[in-house]
Amino acid sequence: MRKTLTLAAAAVIGSALCAAPVLAQESPTLKKIKDTGSITLGHRESSIPFSYYDDKQQVIGYSHEMMLKAVDAIKAELKLAKLDVKLMPVTSANRITLLQNGTVDMECGSTTNNLERQKQVGFSTSIFVIGTRLMAKKDAGVKDFPDLAGKNVVTTAGTTSERLIRKMNEEKQMKMNIISAKDHGESFLTLESGRAVAFMMDDALLYGEMAKAKRPGDWVVVGTAQSKEAYGCMLRKDDAGFKKVVDAALTKAMTSGEAEKIYNKWFMNPIPPKGLNLNMPLSDDMKALYKAPNDKAYE
Amino acid sequence: MYEFDWSSIPGALPLLGKGLLVTLEVTLTAIVVGIGWGTLLAVARLSSNRLLSFLAAGYVNLFRSVPLVMVILWFYLIVPQALKGLFGQDIGDIRLVSALVAFALFEAAYYSEIIRAGIQSVPKGQVAAGLALGLTPGQTMRLVVLPQAFRNMIPLLLTQAIILFQDTSLVYVIGLSDFFGTAYKVGDRDGRLVELLLFAGAAYFVICFTVSRLVKHLQARFIK
Amino acid sequence: MNYNWNWSVFLTPVPSGETTYLGWLFTGLQWTVALSLSAWVIALVVGSIVGVLRTVPNRWLSSFAAVYVECFRNVPLLVQLFSWYFVLPELLPPALGNAYKQSDPLLQQFLAAMLCLGLFTAARVAEQVRAGIESLPRGQKNAGLAMGFTLAQVYRHVLLPMAFRIIVPPLTSEFLNIFKNSAVATTIGLIELSRQAQQLVDYTAQPYEAFIAVTLLYVCINVTVMFLMRRLEEKVRVPGFIGGK
């Protein structure tokens, strides 16, 4: 027992003295960040309100602020006086490739943590929980997924929704025409211009897209959630040292109440670009997540 | 009927100007590197060294049979890794760098074909004369053949440059904000895609049409 | 670089289960070929008409043709494609536009891409046709007219048969270009080859296999077209001209 204590004490002192080098050695990403004094963050261009551009082309959003919390922790962990933060926009379709090939070091946007993706990348503690639903025009007569049979439906390429709806179409022989748009902005454009009767996506993102509609009141989010999904920050696979630092920072933000403040800022208050309030109170799933942060995928 | 609303364009002009600079940067880099590397390829292709000429022909034919969109995507995939090996981590906007590399190497294949034709258009007697004067084959190429070849090729090289200027809009596929990409993003942001697309089309037309007139003018002066 | 090569990825079924990834590639190949061939028909027909109009002795017709060529040559293909796809349906009368937009998206994408590629290439074909006609000695036209042919008959029986035989080589390269340019249709979501490449990367996270396979397919298309066009060139070569028999 005493030996363990001494060891623990030594470890604490040791980590205080030279934690950075030790950790950096264990983690290729941390080592890279330390060596170059810079970190490249992947962000989205139109994932409202998670990660998107405001009208001055600045990246803002809930996930982005959570990511910056992690960056602060990385900077402190590595004891860097200055950390150069570079931003790199990614799309649903290229985010995994860009993370794997080293273009970005981490990505917090609206990326679902699921088992399929876990084969390719690592995920931090989850930062959000969503359900995949539909957005449609109020008077279009779309109430739920069965109403979509034979109609044009849009979703964003490379998302879990795309896989779900293709599968549904195949299994239930619904004869939907599925349009895969490049990003959420283009998906909404497809919906708004009348090319599709419904847009399937994560509910929070649908509310976000609604916020930039010409007439937000024309649109509703409907349908039974087809899946419950947890968003996490993507990290490179098998980089435990890096994940540890990021997880600690996110967990601290969630259990200390900071995350809820950020949540309220983005979901319960007017947000750019049009000053619309999404009015999405904290769900039970989110409350549970904040109480006990974890990196589990639903499914 | 559709109601046009052009009001989002004036405010977006500074952004569009920035985008135009990116377009020009890609175009000019591709012209300079493309002509340089293209000349080497053309000379290699015409050289008596079988291996050299085979490799140059392979390069040119490969690039000429693959769509530019694929080439841009390829380099977007490869460049980050290759660059890290070459320059370390600090490489700035990877999309711009990979677009620059992709366009330069792609255009070189097209330029090399133009240059090869230009070299072949120089009468054989010129080479013989150069060699008879005691110049080495390298010197003959550099001092006698290439200057005449380039003079003949200038209109074609410029026409290719106009095509290239238009083709740079394809960096859209990797999300780089060139002139077109910026116009698209502004249109998407303000819900005025129709107007922004028409505006971008008109701007490209004015630029390309003016330059192509100039090229015609030049052509008339050069070829008498 | 530690990359896990996995070529068997093509044989694994796609998530929705109805085919394999190889099946996706073939769908892509079919769309690329269908798009290119149908656009080529438009390009040849429209291009020949515009090219002929540029050479006729009528100011209105020839300037109309000149304007056509300049418009389609001086605007990037991508901008043209987006105009056909995003702008045109908005400019139609609302009822018609909405009905069109509710139709099968694949059909909309294909039509927009086909029209765009066809009319874009037509401008380039027109220039070749014009050059072909202008390369013929003026005496041919005059001889035809002197024999009592109408102008239309001169074009039909004297000028065009020669001009087309002369311009086969440059048309070959335009034909090759149309296959390459068809990749631009990826930007409006048509599931042609290069779109499938990107989708494969997204679904399988094996970017190199997907890109290499698709690149090879493009090279194959290129080689096939070149082989066929060579055969055609040999057949139609005009004796007595450079490269003739």
Smallest CA–CA separation between B188 and chain A, in Å?
Answer: 7
Residue range(s) defining the domain that contains residue A25: 19-130+229-291
| pLDDT score of A78 more than 50 | yes
Which of A189, A210, A228 is where one domain is finished? A228
- Better pLDDT: A98 or B52: B52
Poorest-pLDDT segment among B26-30, B54-58, C2-6: C2-6
Question: B–C: how many Cβ contacts below 8 A?
Answer: 102
C-alpha distance from residue A69 to each of A35, A72, A123, A241, A246 (Å):
21, 5, 16, 17, 9
pLDDT band for B189, please (50, 70, 90 cuts): confident
| C76–B167 CB contact, under 8 Å | yes
Whether residue A19 is predicted with pLDDT greater than 60 in this model: the reply is no
Pick from A195, A197, A214 the residue to mutate for testing the C interface (most C CBs within 10 Å).
A195
Q: Does B69 touch chain C (CB under 8 A)?
A: yes
pLDDT band at residue C82 under the 50/70/90 scheme: very high
pLDDT the model gives residue A164: 93
User: Considering CB atoms only, which of B173, B200, B205 is closest to C186?
Assistant: B173
pLDDT higher than threshold 70 for residue A9: no
The residue with greater pLDDT, A102 or C156, is C156
pLDDT of C6-54, one tens digit each?
899 899 998 877 899 999 999 999 999 999 999 999 999 999 999 999 9
- Indicate if A89 and A115 belong to the same structural domain: yes
Q: Which chain B residues have a beta carbon less than 8 Å from that of C176?
A: 65
Q: How far is A196 from chain C (nearest CA, A)?
A: 7
pLDDT at B84 over 70: no
Q: Among partner residues B77, B90, B193, which is closest to A97 by beta-carbon distance?
A: B77
pLDDT bucket at C150, cuts 50 / 70 / 90: very high
Kindly tell me if the per-residue pLDDT of A55 is higher than 80: no
Residue A22 banded pLDDT, cuts 50, 70, 90: low
Q: State whether A165 and A264 are in the same domain.
A: no
With cut-offs at 50, 70 and 90, classify the pLDDT of residue A17.
very low
Cα of first residue to Cα of last residue in chain C, in angstroms, is 54
User: Does residue B111 lie within any of the structural domains?
Assistant: yes
Contacts B201 to C, Cβ<8 Å: 75, 79-80, 83
- With the C-alpha atoms ordered A282, A286, A287, A293, is the resulting torsion angle positive or negative? negative
d(CA A43, CA A57): 12
Facing residue for C18 by CB, picked from A94, A170, A196: A170
Given A228, A248, A269, which residue is the final one in a domain?
A228
Contacts of A38 in chain B (CB under 8 A): 89-90
* Contact (Cβ atoms closer than 8 angstroms) between residue B162 and residue B188: no
Q: Pinpoint the alpha helices (H) of chain B.
A: 8-46, 50-65, 68-87, 94-120, 124-132, 137-139, 146-167, 179-190, 193-222
* Angstrom distances, CA of residue A28 to CA of A106, A167, B94: 13, 38, 20
Q: Is the four-CA dihedral A61, A154, B69, C116 of positive or negative sign?
A: negative
Q: Which of C21, A57, A51, C137 is nearest to B185 (CA)?
A: A57
pLDDT tens, position by position, A182-209: 888 889 989 988 899 999 999 999 998 8
Q: Which of C18, C89, C189 sits opposite A179 (nearest CB)?
A: C189
Name residues whose C-beta falls within 8 Å of residue B4's C-beta, 6 or more positions apart in sequence: B194, B195
Using the Cβ of B150 and the Cβ atoms of chain C, whether some distance falls under 8 Å is answered with no
CB contact under 8 A, B2 and C82: no
| Domain-located, residue B2 | no
A237 and A208, same domain (yes or no):
no
Which residues in chain B have Cβ-Cβ distances shorter than 8 Å to C201? 77
Q: Report chain B's terminal Cα–Cα distance, integer Å.
A: 53
- Give the Cα separation of C73 and B3 in Å (integer): 28
> Do A114 and A245 belong to one domain?
yes
A116 pLDDT higher than 70: yes
- Which residues in chain B touch residue C74, judged by CB atoms under 8 angstroms apart? 162, 166, 204-205, 208-209, 212
Instruction: Report if residue B5 sits inside a domain.
Output: no
Within 8 A of C204 by CB-CB distance, chain B residues are: none
User: What pLDDT was estimated at residue A24?
Assistant: 60
Q: Does C170 touch chain A (CB under 8 A)?
A: no
Mean pLDDT of C116-143: 94
Over residues B103-131, the pLDDT tens digits come to 999 999 999 999 999 999 899 899 999 99
Residue A16's pLDDT is what? 46
Give the model confidence (pLDDT) of C164-198 as tens digits: 999 999 999 999 999 999 999 999 989 999 999 98
Q: What is the pLDDT of residue B223?
A: 62
> Which pLDDT score is estimated for C7?
93
Whether the bond into A273 is cis, omega within 30 of 0: yes
The CATH number of whichever domain residue A25 belongs to comes to 3.40.190.10
Predicted local distance difference test score (pLDDT) of residue A105: 93
List the single residue in C79, C91, C197 with the smallest CB-CB distance to B201.
Answer: C79
- Percent of chain C whose pLDDT exceeds 70: 97
Interchain pair C187, B173: CB under 8 A? yes
Residues A86, A42: one domain?
A: yes
- The answer to whether residue B3 sits within a structural domain is no
Of B78-87, C4-13, C31-40, C139-148, the poorest mean pLDDT is in B78-87
Give A18's pLDDT tier (boundaries 50, 70, 90).
very low
Q: Which chains touch A (3 or more CB pairs under 8 A)?
A: B, C
Query: Average pLDDT, stretch B120-143?
Result: 91
Residues of A in contact with B88 (CB under 8 A): 36
Q: How high is the pLDDT of residue C138?
A: 87
How many domains in chain A?
2
C162 vs B8, B212, C46, C52, C153, CA distance in Å?
Answer: 53, 29, 19, 13, 14
- Nearest residue of chain A to residue B186 (CA atoms): A55
Which of the four pLDDT bands, split at 50, 70 and 90, describes residue A211? confident
Mean pLDDT of the residues in chain A? 87
Q: What is the mean pLDDT of residues B180-193?
A: 87
B125 and B204 in contact (C-beta within 8 Å)?
A: no
**Has residue C242 got a pLDDT over 90?**
no
Phi, psi of C73 (to 5 degrees): -90, -25
Region of poorest pLDDT, from A27-31, A85-89, A92-96, A102-106:
A92-96
Q: What is the mean pLDDT of chain B?
A: 90
How many beta-carbon pairs under 8 angstroms link A with B? 40
CA angle at residue B108 from B104 to B114, to 5 degrees? 145
Query: Which residues, other chains included, contact B163 with Cβ-Cβ below 8 Å and sequence gap of 6+?
Result: none
Number of domains chain B contains: 1
In 3D space, the residue among A156, A219, A217 whose CA is nearest the CA of residue A185 turns out to be A156
User: Residue A2 pLDDT > 60, yes or no?
Assistant: no
Q: What is the pLDDT of residue A132?
A: 95
Cis peptide before A49 (omega within 30 of 0): yes
Per-residue pLDDT of A125-170, as tens digits, reads 999 999 999 999 999 999 999 999 999 999 998 888 999 999 999 8
Total length of chain C: 245
Euclidean distance between the first and final Cα of chain A, in Å? 41
Instruction: For residue B68, tell me if it sits in a domain.
Output: yes
Residue A144 sits in the same domain as residue A269: no
Q: In which band, very low, low, confident or very high, does the pLDDT at A95 lie, cut at 50, 70 and 90?
A: confident
Rounded to an integer, the average pLDDT of C202-220 is: 90
Query: Which residues on chain B are in Cβ contact (under 8 Å) with A55?
Result: 189
Instruction: For residue B177, tell me if it sits in a domain.
Output: yes
Provide the sign of the torsion angle of the four alpha carbons C1, C7, C8, C11, taken in this order. Answer: positive
Residues of A in contact with B189 (CB under 8 A): 53, 55, 185, 212, 273
- Name the nearest CA neighbour of B178 among B12, B11, B26: B26
Q: Is residue B167 part of a domain?
A: yes
Residues A142 and A268 in one domain: no
* ipTM reported for the complex, 2 dp: 0.91
User: Is the CB of B188 less than 8 angstroms away from the CB of A186?
Assistant: yes
Dist CA A5 CA A142 (whole Å)? 64
Determine, yes or no, domain membership for B110.
yes
- What are A's interface residues with B at a Cβ cutoff of 8 A? 32, 35-36, 38, 45-46, 53, 55, 57, 88-89, 91, 94, 97-98, 101-103, 185-186, 189, 192, 212-214, 273
- Whether residue A11 is contained in a domain is answered as no
Query: Cα separation of A231 and A185, whole Å?
Result: 19
Domain ranges of chain C: 23-236
Residue B89 above 60 pLDDT? no
Q: How confident is the model at residue B1 (pLDDT cuts 50, 70, 90)?
A: low
Question: Hey, what CATH class is C23-236 in?
Answer: mainly alpha
Q: Say whether residue C83 is in contact with chain B using an 8 A CB cutoff.
A: yes
> Average of pLDDT values for B67-89?
80
> B3 or C92: which carries more pLDDT confidence?
C92
Q: How far is A188 from chain C (nearest CA, A)?
A: 13
User: Per the structure block, which two tokens stand in for B105?
Assistant: 């190497």
pLDDT of residue A201: 96
Do A23 and A124 lie in one domain? The reply is yes
Residues A121 and A268 in one domain: yes
The CATH number of the domain holding residue B102 is 1.10.3720.10
Range of the domain at B124: 11-222
